[in-house]
Homo-oligomer: A and B are copies of this chain.
Amino acid sequence: MNQVQKEAFRLYHYPLSPHCRKLRLVLTEKQIEFALREERYWERRAEFTIVNPSGMVPLLKKGSTFLSDSQAICEYIEAEYPVPVLLPQDAQQAYEARRLVGWFDDKFNREVTSPLVFERLLRRIQGKGPPDASRISSSLKALRTHMKYLHYLLDNRRWLAGERMTLADFAASAHLSCLDYINDVDWDYSSTIKDWYSTLKSRPAFRPLLSDYIPGVMPPHHYSDLDF
């Protein structure tokens, strides 16, 4: 089945937002063309908040309609552009994919990605003083626990939610890619995780994420290296 391009999309995003990265991966995998516009959402630009009461990124403009909430958008895209399938038809398999999307976008984000990206990077960009070392330390500790769980899942499955690649793989790798930009992922911890991430990183959809650049914050050399 061929994908038909229905309308032009514009994505308001921030480069190190894992929810935006997940959506960029989904759109590209589904061969949906979109324009990117960087949004420093914390500045609460009036034209942005008026069309987006949540004030958060991602915000997807489709024609004259604005869509917010990354998971609601992903479900919408899945229904309207079903190829390739990223949420399995089988209810139990779809449940597992959604559970893991929630795991990363809610729990992992709250315990790991959001505090680390804020403390190491956004705090400086937003002019909010020096990083909170104890918050970094507890987030890194939480990251180790999550890596253990990620290893456990991938050790028993081909992809994160089962035998097929799903939205869960994009959600999880979007988070890891943000953490990799700020050099917080220990790739030596598990070759299983590294191999899985390497496979995702090699997909064409991942390439634009690897050339993201935040002025003044260089990612480590291995960030964009496919043989890291």
Question: Does A39 touch B at the CB level, under 8 Å?
Answer: no
Q: Which chain B residue has the least Cβ–Cβ distance from A90?
A: B79
Is residue A118 within 8 Å, beta carbon to beta carbon, of the partner chain?
no
Partner of A76, one of B56, B76, B94: B94
Interface of A, secondary structure class, is helix
A92 within 8 A of B: yes
**A73 touches B (CB below 8 Å):** yes
A141 an interface residue at 8 Å Cβ cutoff? no
The interface residues of chain B lying within 8 Å CB-to-CB of A75 are 94-95, 98
9 more contacts with CB within 8 A, not counting A56-B107, A76-B92, are A53-B149, A54-B103, A69-B106, A71-B102, A72-B95, A72-B98, A76-B94, A76-B98, A79-B91
Q: Which residues of A contact B (CB under 8 A)?
A: 53-54, 56, 67-69, 71-73, 75-76, 79-80, 91-92, 94-95, 98-99, 101-103, 106-107, 149
